[in-house]
Amino acid sequence: MLPPSTAIHTGETSPALPRADTPVRLVVLDDDDFDIEVFRRCVSSIQDLSLTLRSFHTAEAVWEELGREPCDLLFVDYHLEGTTGLDAKKLLNARGFTPPTILVTDGHGDDVMRDAVNGGFADYIPKRSVLPVVVSQVIRSSLEKARLQAQIEQNQRDLAETVKSLESSREEIRRFYHSVSHELKTPLTGAREFVSLVQDGVAGAVTDEQSDLLGAAIRNCDRMVTCINDMLDSSRIETGKLHLKRVVCSFGAVVEDAVKSLLVKAEEKQIEVHVALERGPALDAAFIDPVRIFQVIGNLVSNAIKFTPTGGTIHVSARATEGGSIEASVRDSGCGLSASNQGLVFERLFQSRDDDAATLGGLGMGLFICRELVRLHGGEISVRSKEGAGAEFTFLIPALAPGAGLLSPAA
């Protein structure tokens, strides 16, 4: 059996609580005048609380007399003429009269406890316990519970407003990314083309030194375009607007093309890149978005080049698994990742060191985009690394569309 002051969560909106200098407003709903008088005498003998008490025989009388007037605590007898205290509480609550309610009953034990809990009562008192010390304790504990519930509800409202504000700010940031990315990309693309024309001698002869300088300008334009594209992709991913365009094609060919596009960058650091592909039906006829898989492999290899010292090695591999998936990995001999960073490396804007953006380039979006593109393919990506001993990024994706048989690659 619950002790008389055991807390029971009501799930109701808490009413305004009385001020410290305001009497506690009690209402008793009981169809027995003798019980009402016992309760009245009990309340009047409580000297350490300022209390007012009104009594009624029916729930309708409570509603007609009080309506939505303030009430701090409602005591309801379990047995009422023609009804029960449970139904009386439901009737009043349905009409908006929802003060913390105490069930007063002749019974005790598990049945009473169950009825009190299911009925949403704040507490209950056996009639034999209607004594000044018990009633005083119940009043105090019920008011305190109501105060705490009101505070919880206020905190929840404040939290909801904070979440709403954060979501609004997040949406503004997404729109800003998208807008700025488009505004920057168009003039930057034009600037790169003009620099390329000058390097090609369209505007006149160019010396070797000038050509080198123009080449550096083009590479930095490409670097900025990559950052802009990452921002656009990140925005599309978060808004659900990035969609795959799957075709049946050679996974191995996509890997080779992605690696070839970065060989010059690797040669600048004298890094050897080794590619190992297990040929077979799954790799030769995979159902993928070749542009996005090219992007994933390109991001992983580019990262490997970035963090591998001069003279290092990178291994790129792909194979079909027995479960009908394709496993691809990029392993380097670079600086590796700490154990703590391995759990964060796929998060958006993550930089493994504070100076990464300044010294190594990038916005910290590449691996986040890799993860999301792999997930869109129905796969997962992971990393194994030891600080100072390189890193290996591996992703696994289904080779075919669900329910598809062996298909021929697109021409």
Q: What is the DSSP string of 139-203?
A: HHHHHHHHHHHHHHHHHHHHHHHHHHHHHHHHHHHHHHHHHHHHHHHHHHHHHHHHHHHHHTTTT
For the chain, what is the domain count? 3
**Domain end among 123, 157, 191:** 157
Cβ atoms of residues 74 and 99 within 8 Å: yes
Q: Helices marked H in 261-308 — which ranges?
A: 263-268, 281-284, 290-307
> Which SS3 state, helix, strand or coil, does residue 77 take?
strand
What is the reported pLDDT for 18? Answer: 53
Residues 153 and 278 placed together within one structural domain of the fold: no
CA separation, residue 119 to residues 12, 76, 79 (Å): 11, 12, 14
**Is residue 12 assigned to a domain?**
no
**Is residue 17 assigned to a domain?**
no
**Domain end among 136, 157, 178:** 157
Q: How many Å apart are CA 223 and CA 237, to the nearest integer?
A: 21
Cβ atoms of residues 268 and 334 within 8 Å: no
Residues 61 and 106 placed together within one structural domain of the fold: yes
What band does 7 get if pLDDT is binned at 50, 70 and 90?
very low
Residues 258 and 335 placed together within one structural domain of the fold: yes
Domain residue limits at 66? 24-157
**Domain end among 157, 178, 211:** 157
**Is residue 256 assigned to a domain?**
yes
Q: What is the mean pLDDT of the chain?
A: 82
What is the reported pLDDT for 13? Answer: 43
**Is residue 61 assigned to a domain?**
yes
52, containing H or E segment: strand 51-56
Residues 148 and 205 placed together within one structural domain of the fold: no
Residues 177 and 265 placed together within one structural domain of the fold: no
| Comparison of pLDDT for 374 and 237, the residue scoring more | 374
> How would you classify residue 65: left for phi > 0, otherwise alpha for psi between -120 and 50, otherwise beta?
alpha
What is the reported pLDDT for 292? Answer: 94
**Is residue 162 assigned to a domain?**
no
What is the reported pLDDT for 267? Answer: 92
Which tokens in the block code for residue 344?
Answer: 């964060």
Residues 50 and 96 placed together within one structural domain of the fold: yes
**Is residue 280 assigned to a domain?**
yes
Residues 192 and 78 placed together within one structural domain of the fold: no
* Span 136-149, pLDDT tens digits: 888 888 888 888 98
* Span 117-170, pLDDT tens digits: 788 888 888 888 888 888 888 888 888 888 898 899 999 999 999 998 888 877
What is the reported pLDDT for 363? Answer: 60
In this structure, what CATH number is given to the domain that contains residue 367? 3.30.565.10
Residues 201 and 301 placed together within one structural domain of the fold: no
Residues 230 and 258 placed together within one structural domain of the fold: no
What is the reported pLDDT for 10? Answer: 35
**Could you tell me which residues come within 8 angstroms of residue 319 by beta carbon, excluding any fewer than 6 positions away?**
277, 278, 283, 326, 327
What band does 9 get if pLDDT is binned at 50, 70 and 90?
very low
Residues 269-285, mean pLDDT to the nearest whole number: 88
Residues 114 and 222 placed together within one structural domain of the fold: no
Q: Is the pLDDT of residue 343 over 90?
A: no
Q: Is the sign of the CA dihedral 240, 221, 374, 282 positive or negative? A: positive
| Comparison of pLDDT for 409 and 203, the residue scoring more | 203
272, containing H or E segment: strand 272-277
Question: Looking at this protein, which amino acid is placed at residue 279?
Answer: R
Smallest Cα–Cα separation from 394: which of 313, 325, 344? Answer: 325
Residues 222 and 271 placed together within one structural domain of the fold: no
Residue 178 CA, chain-centre distance (Å), reads: 22
Number of other residues whose CB lies within 10 A of the CB of residue 102: 23
**Is residue 84 assigned to a domain?**
yes
Residue 411 CA, chain-centre distance (Å), reads: 42
Q: How many Å apart are CA 70 and CA 17, to the nearest integer?
A: 9
Residues 146 and 85 placed together within one structural domain of the fold: yes
> Which SS3 state, helix, strand or coil, does residue 101 take?
strand
* Span 294-316, pLDDT tens digits: 999 999 999 899 889 999 999 99
**Is residue 174 assigned to a domain?**
yes
Residues 336-347, mean pLDDT to the nearest whole number: 82
